[in-house]
Amino acid sequence: MTEPSDPAAADGGSKVTRGFGATARATKRAGSFTMRTARRAAEAQGAGESGLSRLIQMHFFNTAGDAAVAISLAGTLFFQVPSGEARGQVALFLALTMLPFAIVAPLLGPFLDRFAHGRRWAIGSTMAVRSFLCWVLAGAVVTESPWVFPAALGVLVASKAYGVTRAAAVPRLLPRDFTLVRANGRVSMSGVVGVAVSGPIAGLAALAGPEWVLRYAFALFVAATVAAIRLPPRVDSSEGEEELVLRGSAVAATSGRRRTRIPPAVAYALRANCGPRWLSGFLIMFMAFLLRIHPIEGWSPEFLTAVVVGAAATGNFLGVVAASVVKRISPAITVTAVLFADVAVTLTGAIFYGVLMLGALGLVAGFGQALAKFSLDATIQRDVPQRVQASAFARSDTTVQLAWVIGGFIGIAMPLDPASLGLGVATVVLVAWTAFVLYTHPRRMRERMTTGN
């Protein structure tokens, strides 16, 4: 015989059900409002008509997927293994990341040039390859397969190929009265939003295991693949393109396209950008192990890591905002000022190492990196002919990413005790690089050529 149910329990259960339903409806409304607002922002000022908004949406999914992959690999290679072993694994991974820059990156440009009339499919292919490799990685991290590193390397190579193809696509989707720097700023802002949105979701997925984060990344890259294929047809146009070279004469290349030398001001801005990007890679890797093995007394490693990462993300965001708001900005003065600021904050951090200085290091490094990159973009737009700007952006991205990887590798190899030693070495490197950059300033080069020195 069935006993009658408890009315109070039934009423409580119905309240819980109604509460979940109300929460779900509120979340749906908030998500729909956010998506509508983001879409209107992406399509503002003619970006919807030109097709730039589609590239902005695609870049959102791309950076969201990259953030998920980074979180998964960080958990697999760093947090789930002993400190000494983690240091060796991350060093091995960074050593492998040198391969795309040393071997693959010089080949990416000529290879992707063959897709000049099919860039949408080339961009889509970089997304599809990463989605497939993320699915492979999801199984490899569970079984601890040796395919983890080759698959991760493939994801990195595809990511760099995407950077080259995207840099070539942006100039072809400019709205009327829209500068290239402004367009790149809007695309970069969508990347910042993508990381901010995807990071917490990937963190929650990581609670179930790194394989679920990679499956989440797989879904994001599938969405990015579809978005890439939906880009406007004019992305495929290569009319009037030339080849940009760092050295050599401006003559017809073997490919039949005219070669143009990089302007001295662009070369100066590019060299100056290597300093902040090197510091960013160094701090990320050096601080990750330093704060884990030798945390500041009275503070947990997790809190200290959150301080550095949060400050760097805030600084990067403020740099993007400052570059978008400030109209009359001198690129040469800005990149030089960023170099001096990085030297000052690193030296101060080596002398007065503490929690506040960790936050200051992250904030200044993130702010300077973003502002210096936008100054480089402004210099390219001002001094490089429009027909070769795509090539200039691709080469600059490759160079600064190489500087980041070298900085990260040195950060891993650096002794962790005392902390001031590593920051002191970083200061010396930055001072030497700043002196080299100033020595090769275009005005000084012209003076030496005039005097015959």
Q: Give the model's pLDDT for residue 398.
A: 74
Distances 6 to 1, 19, 20, 326 between C-alpha atoms, Å: 16, 20, 21, 66
Phi, psi of 245 (to 5 degrees): -125, 150
Q: Give the model's pLDDT for residue 310.
A: 83
Q: Give the model's pLDDT for residue 374.
A: 83
Q: Give the model's pLDDT for residue 289.
A: 78
**Nearest Cα residue to 141 out of 227, 211, 43, 67:** 211
**8 A C-beta contact, residue 276 and residue 339:** yes
pLDDT tens, residue by residue, 276-297: 999 988 888 888 778 777 777 8
The pair of three-digit structure tokens given for residue 380, joined into one six-digit string: 């390219």
Which ranges of 354-441 would DSSP assign to H, the alpha helix?
Answer: 355-383, 389-413, 419-439
Cα separation of 403 and 299, whole Å? 31
Query: How many helices (H) and strands (E) would you count in the chain?
Result: 16, 2
For the chain, residues classed under CATH 1.20.1250.20 are 50-239, 260-453
Distances 70 to 51, 73, 101, 155 between C-alpha atoms, Å: 29, 5, 19, 11
Q: Give the model's pLDDT for residue 252.
A: 47
Q: Give the model's pLDDT for residue 169.
A: 80
Ranges of residues in the chain whose predicted pLDDT is under 50: 1-4, 9-10, 16, 20, 23-24, 27-28, 30-31, 33-34, 45, 248-256, 445, 447-453
Cα separation of 235 and 98, whole Å? 30
The half-sphere exposure of 440 on its side-chain side, counting CA atoms within 13 A, is 15
Cα separation of 273 and 332, whole Å? 11
Distances 140 to 91, 106, 109, 146, 279 between C-alpha atoms, Å: 20, 29, 31, 8, 32
Give the fold, CATH level 3, of 50-239: Growth Hormone; Chain: A; (1.20.1250)
Q: Give the model's pLDDT for residue 435.
A: 94
Q: Give the model's pLDDT for residue 240.
A: 52
Cα separation of 287 and 380, whole Å? 33
β-partners of residue 243 are 259
- How far does Cα 352 stand from its chain's mean position? 30
Domain 260-453, CATH among 3.40.50.1370, 1.20.1250.20, 1.10.10.10, 3.60.21.10: 1.20.1250.20
What residues contact 246, with CB distance under 8 A and at least 6 apart? 261, 262, 267, 395
Which ranges of 117-209 would DSSP assign to H, the alpha helix?
Answer: 119-143, 148-169, 180-206
